Structure 1
Amino acid sequence: MTSWVLSVFRDRSRFLMLTLYKTMVRSKLEYCCPVWNPDKISDIEAIESIQRHYTRRISGCQNLDYWKRLQNLNLLSLQRRRERYIIIHTWKMMNGLAPNDINMQFKESSRHGIKATVPAFNKKAQCSISTHYENSFGVKAAKLWNLLPKEVNKIQILETFKSSLAKFLKGFPDTPPTKGYTAITNNSLLEWTLQKDLTQE
């Protein structure tokens, strides 16, 4: 689809290129992404490379590295958007707008607002299972949800929640794994939060 867009449309202006990308390319890259969200760096890089190569063709962005292009174009990395979708889907499950098939539990407190219960890990299971456990939707969704501050996780209107979530996400660097780039973390919100906690210590 990317090749088709670039061959049919000769205009490389920012508005047209972003409009075509968001409607015809990115939608395909994100379909049902909370289900298949990858954890391997090589897979994250492979998917991210599509947006990386496309944005390089946009007028005025040719001399910017990928991370700076994201900032210049006001785009989130595909990796960050997948985590965003997981958080939004969790909100929908909590509010009855999506089936809670995994029976995710939520608890509310006056201090932290609404928090999700992270499924317990069976300590008798083989060590190799721990990776699958950490990257399962139930665990990752609960941990991502629990990053949200009280003023965000208690919002009951979807569009208001999305707007507040967008502001919250801007507080984190967005430097996705990219070949040839040296990153501090794997760019997950969970890793950035851990990094922030270590810095404060």
Structure 2
Amino acid sequence: MDKVIKHSKINSFADDTRISKRISTMDDCLLLQQDLEYVMEWSKDNNMMLHEEKFELLSYRTPASKATAEALPFMGAVNSYTTSSGTTLDRSTIVRDLGVNMSEDLSWSPHINMMVDQARQIASWVLGVFKERSKPLMVQLFKSLVRSRVEYCCPLWNPAKIADIQAIESIQRHFTRRISGLKNLNYWDRLKELKLLSLQRRRERYMIIHVWKILHGICPNDINMVFKENPRLGNKVVLPPITSRATSLAKTFYDNSFAVKAGKLWNTLPRDVNTQKTLECFKIKLGSYMESFPDNPPTPGYTASNHNSLIDCCSQRGGPQMAR
């Protein structure tokens, strides 16, 4: 299929395919429509029926570009792509892509809100079905049925907004409060009692592990992450550059991107952790390293001594410098 595409980018996973193109002029709209037609012709030639009624259109736009785009004379054509049956594709504000809700404004808040709502429903079901509130049972139920709902693909959408972090953390905070003997403890103390990491700290752990897998070729380095060997500090990530003329919005996207956020997290690791050659040994060393920092996630009514990210904790402690 990708051989018939001439003007756009195409990505596929199993039976999900997406075509993307930057739209700057009316000609770009026509070229994207042309590639869409090429794909539909290809499917007929190869006796493979596409579910055209399931086609979705998502236009990524920042608030500033959205205001500008609405004033362009060809803006109507951007939202009027058609299928071979003559059906016009209506622009969607949110599209579910491989289990992750992608928003047109490049925000992860809609996905996080939907995910949190689903997790709350599962948590309510668990608490309604199981009457026992013992620590072993409740922790096992939470890990297997609830926590997995709020960690799927988390290195991609890891939030930076305090409100989003608190919304996700509230799932574990409310559930652990129902465990026998822990009701009168604050959330931070309940985490210590149950030997649990905050969901915020677990997401950072997943990001660091993914960087290790990129470094050792287990996962594809599709973001072109660059590593540099330092005799004293071990393996460090060279953070991608950003122009000083970048807008504040661009800098925010830059700081919250996986390439930068995961790179900074990785660069907090000491040499005896980031030079581990096997995943099992790396996870053990990483666990011990993370336990050396207090885990005080943002919680309504409590003031943390730091922002709880390993980046902030390491900065306060005076950890390794980050390569650029």
Give the TM interval when normalised to the shorter protein.
Answer: over 0.9
| Percentage of identical aligned residues | 58
Residue number among 79, 85, 94 corresponding to 2:206 in the alignment = 85
Structure 1 counterpart of 2:189: 68
Quick one: which of 104, 110, 130 aligns to 2:251?
A: 130
* Deviation of the 1:90 alpha carbon: 0.4
Kindly state the Cα deviation for residue 123 of structure 1 after the two structures are TM-superposed: 1.3
Q: CA-to-partner distance for each residue in 1:128-183, whole Å, 9 max, x for gaps?
A: 22111111100011111011111110111101100110000011110000111111
The one of 280, 289, 299 equivalent to 1:168 is 289
What's the offset of the Cα at 1:110? 1.8
The RMSD of aligned alpha carbons is 1.1
Query: Number of aligned pairs?
Result: 198
Give the structure 2 partner of residue 179 of structure 1.
Answer: 300
SS of the residue aligned with 1:128?
Answer: helix
Residue matched to 1:6? 127
2:151 corresponds to: 30
Alpha-carbon separation, structure 2, partners of 1:178 and 1:127: 27
Cα distance in 2 for residues equivalent to 1:77 and 1:10 = 25
Q: CA–CA distance in 1 between the matches of 2:201 and 2:278?
A: 22
Amino acid at match of 2:229: E
2:248 and 2:133 map into 1 onto residues whose CA distance is 50
Pair 1:39 & 2:160 matched: yes
Bigger strand fraction = 2
Q: Give the match for residue 76 of structure 2.
A: none
Residue type of the alignment partner of 1:145: W
Which amino acid is the alignment partner of residue 297 of structure 2? Answer: P
More deviation, 39-48/184-193: 184-193
In structure 1, list runs of 5 or more residues that go unmatched: none
Q: CA deviation at 1:194?
A: 1.8
Which amino acid counterpart does residue 63 of structure 1 have in structure 2?
A: N
Structure 1 residue matching 2:241: 3-state secondary structure: coil
Moved more, 121-130 or 63-72: 121-130
What is the Cα deviation at residue 53 of structure 1? 0.2
TM-score (norm 2): 0.60
Query: Helix, strand or coil for the counterpart of 1:96?
Result: coil
1:197 and 1:157 mapped to 2: Cα distance? 28
Question: How far did residue 22 of structure 1 move?
Answer: 0.4
Cα distance in 1 between the residues matched to 2:260 and 2:277: 23
Partner Cα separation in structure 1 for residue 252 and residue 177 of structure 2: 34
Q: Which has the higher contact order (CA 8 A, sep 6+)?
A: 1
When you count helix as a share of all residues, which structure comes out higher?
1
Q: Counterpart of 2:176 in structure 1: which amino acid? A: T
Report the AA paired with residue 95 of structure 1. Answer: H
Which of structures 1 and 2 has the bigger CA Rg?
Answer: 2
Paired with 2:277 and 2:318, the residues of 1 have a C-alpha distance of 29
Q: Deviations over 1:7-38 (max 9, x none)?
A: 11111000000000001111111000000000
Determine if the alignment matches structure 1 residue 105 to structure 2 residue 226. Answer: yes
> What residue is the counterpart of 1:159 in the other structure?
280
Q: Distance in 2 between matches of 1:167 and 1:194?
A: 18
Structure 1 window deviating more from structure 2 (121-130 vs 35-44): it is: 121-130
What is the TM-score of this pair, normalised by structure 1?
0.96
Letter in 2 for 1:106: F
Aligned to 1:189: 310
Aligned: 1:143 with 2:264: yes
Distance in 2 between residues matched to 1:150 and 1:196, nearest whole Å: 16
Amino acid at match of 2:175: Y
